[in-house]
Amino acid sequence: MIHGLYAITPDSWGSQRLLDGVEAAVEGGASVLQYRRKAIAISERRKEAAAIREICRPRGVPLIVNDDPTLAAEVHADGVHLGRDDGSVAAARAVLGGTSMIGVSCYDDLERAQRAFHEGADYVAFGSFFPSAVKPHAVRPPVSLLSAARDRIALPRVAIGGITVHNAALLIEEGADAVAVISDLFDAQDIRARAELFS
DSSP 77: -
Angle at 75 (CA atoms; ends 12, 4), nearest 5 degrees:
65
- Angle of helix 110-119 versus helix 144-152 axis, rounded to 10: 30
Q: Which residues of 138-163 are buried (b: 16+ CB within 10 A; e: fewer)?
A: beebebebbebbbeebebbbbbbbbb
> What is the residue type of 193?
A
Does the annotation mark 47 as catalytic? no
Among the options 105, 132, 157, 194, which is catalytic?
105
Q: CA torsion, points 99, 122, 15, 132, in degrees to nearest 10?
A: 180
Comparing CA positions, the residue from 22, 10, 89 lying closest to residue 61 is 22
Which residues lie below 8 Å from residue 35, measured CB to CB, with a gap of 6+?
A: 9, 45, 48, 49, 52, 63, 64, 65, 66, 77
Among the options 135, 140, 150, 192, which is catalytic?
135
Does the annotation mark 38 as catalytic? no
Among the options 31, 36, 128, 132, which is catalytic?
36
3-state secondary structure at position 159: strand
Q: Any idea which residues carry the catalytic annotation?
A: 36, 105, 135
